[in-house]
Amino acid sequence: MFLKRLLYYLNPLTLFRKGEKFNAKNANIKLMHGINRISIFMFLACMIILVIRLIRG
């Protein structure tokens, strides 16, 4: 269940879906979610790099 939600959250197709009416509060939340997604992608990329370095020795 958790993995399914995480994969939905990180799906690039759900990033550009139509939202509610524009206002400052929604814009701030949308920006915060975008920054969270970027940080998760960077973390996963770094973990992959570390695993590759560990395997190569």
pTM (2 d.p.)? 0.64
pLDDT of residue 31: 86
Which amino acid belongs to residue 46?
C
pLDDT of residue 51: 97
Which amino acid belongs to residue 39?
S
Alpha carbons 50 and 56: distance in angstroms, whole number: 10
Distance of CA 34 to the CA centre of its chain: 7
Q: What is the DSSP string of 2-28?
A: HHHHHHHHH-HHHHT---S---HHHHH
Q: What is the pLDDT of residues 3-49, one digit of tens each?
A: 888 788 778 777 666 666 667 778 888 888 889 988 999 999 999 99
Alpha carbons 47 and 38: distance in angstroms, whole number: 14
pLDDT of residue 48: 97
